[in-house]
């Protein structure tokens, strides 16, 4: 049953509420706003919180505003014996109150209101669950598409996500989920770029004018794709500005610079450039030294903190000795991590080393094997 919390400064009134409504709802009570907040933290979530307006120390409006901050999905109802226009306006505008009722409130009216509130809570939580499942599914779909169309880029994206995860954990940043997703999907715009152009960039070959324009638009393409996913507008902005220099130069060509660039973009710029240098064979310390010489490219504070975070993590991990075991295709499982590339006999890359295996990757490998193609790597 959905739980309802009644909060009042009079214990007798609370006892009456528990007696009247305990048969239809799971009722809990708290004497005063302070006890109500303690109950919310200890025993929440509650579907509905009903609070009296006139309480000492913390009135009902102040209390319900704090309830909203702690549990935004909880439906809030106010009981008041003195319903003035100012009270009602504040209740709606500041506390986002679902209903406010005059005391004494007829039992039938309160029961009807509680039922409506519980129904509303069900809608809100169902919508949130749907959004979260849609979000997770959409992210996985984009990741799977990238892994199948461009395994090299997907492998780098996974490493970039791992770097980002280490960084945000070290600085205790509250937006870590947004930053991790932005790192993972930062290169998704490459799905719209011809393979030969991507190859030329990786090999350091010269691009034609149209190819340069195409390459410059990769963040914009990726941001446009991600912006279609619910709740990922902030992630899309991080992706859009991922190549922006701290001094305002770079893509996109606008007046934004410095702290005006999204924080996630400033971090992503440092981490992605570091990873590119490392992938080309540059040792980490030399990579940081080179990056420090690029005046105006990076947020200095981010560059220094990334060096401390990522450098320390790698120095600690150099002594690690993870278990490595050759396995067959039949033994390959989701979340296995490859220690070598998987290639076809003619050298075509199917999955990069360091990649965490997904269901789609296993399906692809099985389909390739069924066509009689020999595979090289950790599986056989």
For CATH 3.40.50.2300, the residue range(s) in the chain are 3-126
Would you say domain 3-126 falls under CATH 2.60.40.10? no
Q: Is the pLDDT of residue 198 over 60?
A: yes
State the architecture of 150-315 in CATH terms: Orthogonal Bundle (1.10)
The H-or-E segment that residue 145 falls in is helix 107-149
Residues 203-225: tens digit of each pLDDT: 889 999 999 999 999 999 999 98
What is the C-alpha to C-alpha distance for residues 54 and 78, in angstroms, rounded to an integer?
10
pTM assigned to the model:
0.58
Quickly list DSSP for 338-363. Answer: -SS-EEETT--EEE-TTPBP-HHHHH
Give the pLDDT confidence of 142-183 residue by residue, as tens digits: 777 777 777 877 788 888 888 898 888 887 665 678 898 899
Locate 366 and state its tokens.
């099985």
Kindly state the DSSP code that residue 182 receives in the 8-state scheme.
H
Residues of the chain with CATH 3.90.105.10: 322-380
Q: Residue 267: enclosing H or E segment and its boundaries?
A: helix 263-279
My answer on whether omega of the bond before 366 falls inside 30° of 0, hence cis, is: no
- Could you tell me where in the chain the CATH 1.10.3210.10 domains are found? 150-315
Name the superfamily (CATH) of residues 322-380: Molybdopterin biosynthesis moea protein, domain 2 (3.90.105.10)
Residue-wise pLDDT for 328-378, tens only, equals 777 788 878 777 778 777 777 777 777 778 777 888 788 877 777 667 665
């Amino acid at each position: 049953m959905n739980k309802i919390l009644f909060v009042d400064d009079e214990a007798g009134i609370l006892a009456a509420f528990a007696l009247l409504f305990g048969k239809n709802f799971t009722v809990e009570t708290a004497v005063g706003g302070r006890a109500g907040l303690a109950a919310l933290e200890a025993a929440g979530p509650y579907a509905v919180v009903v609070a009296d307006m006139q309480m000492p120390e913390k009135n009902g409006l102040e209390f319900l505003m704090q309830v909203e901050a702690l549990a935004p999905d909880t439906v809030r109802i106010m009981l008041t014996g003195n319903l003035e226009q100012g009270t009602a306006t504040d209740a709606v505008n500041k506390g986002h109150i679902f209903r406010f009722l005059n005391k004494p409130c007829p039992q039938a009216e309160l029961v009807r209101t509680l039922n409506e509130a519980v129904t509303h809570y069900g809608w809100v939580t169902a919508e949130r669950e749907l959004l979260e499942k849609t979000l997770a599914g959409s992210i996985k779909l984009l990741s799977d598409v990238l892994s199948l169309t461009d395994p090299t880029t997907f492998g780098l994206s996974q490493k970039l996500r791992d770097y980002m995860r280490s960084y945000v954990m070290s600085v205790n940043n509250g937006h870590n989920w947004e930053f991790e997703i932005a790192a993972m999907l930062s290169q998704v715009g490459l799905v719209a770029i011809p393979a030969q152009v991507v190859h030329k960039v990786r090999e350091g070959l010269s691009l034609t004018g149209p190819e340069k324009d195409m390459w410059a638009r990769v963040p914009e393409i990726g941001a446009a794709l991600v912006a279609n996913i619910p709740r990922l507008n902030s992630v899309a902005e991080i992706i859009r500005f991922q190549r922006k220099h701290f001094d305002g130069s770079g893509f996109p060509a606008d007046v934004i610079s410095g702290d005006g660039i999204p924080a996630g973009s400033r971090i992503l710029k440092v981490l992605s450039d570091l990873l590119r240098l490392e992938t080309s064979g540059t040792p980490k310390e030399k990579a940081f030294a080179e990056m420090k010489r690029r005046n105006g490219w990076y947020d200095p504070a981010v560059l220094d903190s990334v060096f401390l975070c990522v450098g320390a993590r790698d120095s600690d991990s150099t002594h690690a000795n993870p278990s490595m075991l050759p396995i067959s295709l039949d033994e390959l499982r989701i979340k296995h991590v490859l220690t070598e590339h998987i290639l076809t006999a003619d050298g075509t890359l199917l999955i990069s080393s360091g990649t965490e295996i997904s269901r789609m990757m296993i399906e692809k490998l099985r389909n390739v094997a069924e066509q009689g193609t020999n595979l090289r790597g950790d599986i056989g």
